[in-house]
Amino acid sequence: MSTTESTNVLVIGSGIAGCAAALSAARNGDNVALVTKATHADETSTGWAQGGIATTRHDADQFKQDIIDASDNTADPNAVDILVNEAPSVIEDVLIETLDVPFDKENDEFAYGQEAAHSTRRILHVGASTGKHILRPFFEYLQNHQSVRIYDDSTALELITEHDTVHGAIVEDSNTSRVIFAGNTILATGGIGTLYPYSTNPSAATGDGIGMASLAGAQTADMAFVQFHPTAYAADDPDELFLISEAVRGEGAVLRNGNDVRFMPDYHVDAELAPRDVVARAVSSERSQTGTVYLDVSSFDFESTFPDLAAKCEQHDVDIDAGIPVAPAQHFLCGGVVVDTHGRTTVDGLYAVGECARTGVHGANRLASTGLLEGLVWGVRAGNDAAGKSATAVETPDVTTIDPQLPDQFTDAKFKRIQQIMGRSAGITRTRDDLQNAQAELRRIKGEIDAYARTRTSRSLYELRNAAVTALLITQAASETDSVGCHQLVESADPAPQM
């Protein structure tokens, strides 16, 4: 069945950035359609976020400097100013007054956490499960908002464009194909984790927003800067992987190698609290040299400080007293679709917010717990800016299925191949030769995908197409970018992380 609908603002994605954009547009009196792959809040990258959300407190200038230092001096100062200056009011308005998020407190005052590369405690958190405590009430609030329609378990297949302007998207769920015309469309599709063999992202993170925006003509930037989190549980099975929050090191945990030696003081003056790119490369190097790295949490009461993480460790039979085995895993894309200070892309009618957007805040390396903040601040800004425009119906792309035949396991096999290519060629360290070879392989894969996509419509095929486009953008940018931040070119790259 196929339907046609119209709305003022179409938001694609339901993490903190998408929800903030939807809320902001609805507050302006607009009708909002929110399309999400998720069926509940925990299936988004925000829902998986552990550490918390950074805020400014009384140290605006130092917070700005911490962000710029962590970025290897590549962050856009104007974007950083917006983030830092607007953080307190946006958090107070949306997260505290509107959603009543139960941030941890001590003696009726917020209990701010410490994380790597922050010069002071400034992280608002709810245990080590902050994301779900933000997104569950956010999702519920929007479900009950009279101006917001939520289409869950739904995928945006393609943007509707005419004369270099986006007019909405074609959306599919298990039963219905919808043409949704919109005055403005906001991409908030999250990350790229499914492009890598080991990632802290949910499985729905297939680079959709970046792929669709690029195919619609939008510019991207900083795509070389793929951040790897240094401390994911070193599981053999990628499905068993889980993140060990940076906040654990903020509370005093230290990293030891296979020789039981604490090694981070040899790599950086801030040791375990060095920027993520530094710690991730150090962990990777020590694992290669000594066979293993583990997180020593013996200096504090891990179970009572991080009960959710302690429970996960117990579920995976991890002996906390012996240390938690860790390895780097893909975590966050610092680049994305180029946007201005209100989330506007280079294509009329199209906005992008959250991880799929490149605001300039993160530069070449993201400071811990600024991802949720960026999504919230730019989500509110984009929703405000996108409001007030009526939809225009235009001719839509033909995505009907002419040839229903698709080889069994085609998409699974191609996703696996993309993961192998990206893990080998676009990991923590890269070589130009590997990146050039990766581009050639990825172009061949994309050609195969395009051949099927011309005659067949399916969520998995369009996700695969977006993943291939995004992987190409990453490898192209990485081959053309000098080493900085989390992008490091070497003569001989480390092998892909093996848990």
Q: Which residues are known to be catalytic?
A: 276
Q: Each residue of 135-161: b (16+ CB within 10 Å) or e? A: bbbbbebbeebebbbbbbebbbbbbbb
Distance of CA 333 to the CA centre of its chain: 6
Mark out the alpha helices in 291-337 (DSSP H runs). Answer: 302-305, 307-315
- Helices 16-27 and 371-386 cross at an angle (nearest 10°) of 30
Rounded Cα gap, residues 168 and 128, in angstroms: 37
Rounded Cα gap, residues 121 and 192, in angstroms: 29
Using CB atoms within 10 Å of the CB of residue 260, give its burial: 0 to 12 exposed, 13 to 18 middle, 19+ buried. Answer: exposed
Q: How far is CA 248 from CA 50, 110, 252, 301, 380, in A?
A: 10, 18, 7, 11, 30
Rounded Cα gap, residues 332 and 243, in angstroms: 12
Find out whether 358 and 337 touch, Cβ atoms under 8 Å. yes
DSSP 163: T
| Amino acid, single-letter form, for residue 197 | P
Transcribe 35-82 into DSSP letters. E-S-SSGGGSHHHH--S-EE--TT-HHHHHHHHHHHTTS-S-HHHHHH
Give the end-to-end CA distance of the chain in Å, rounded to a whole number. Answer: 45
**What sign has the CA pseudo-torsion 144, 18, 73, 279?**
positive
Mark out the alpha helices in 241-275 (DSSP H runs). Answer: 246-250
Q: Which residues pair with 184 in a beta bridge?
A: 9
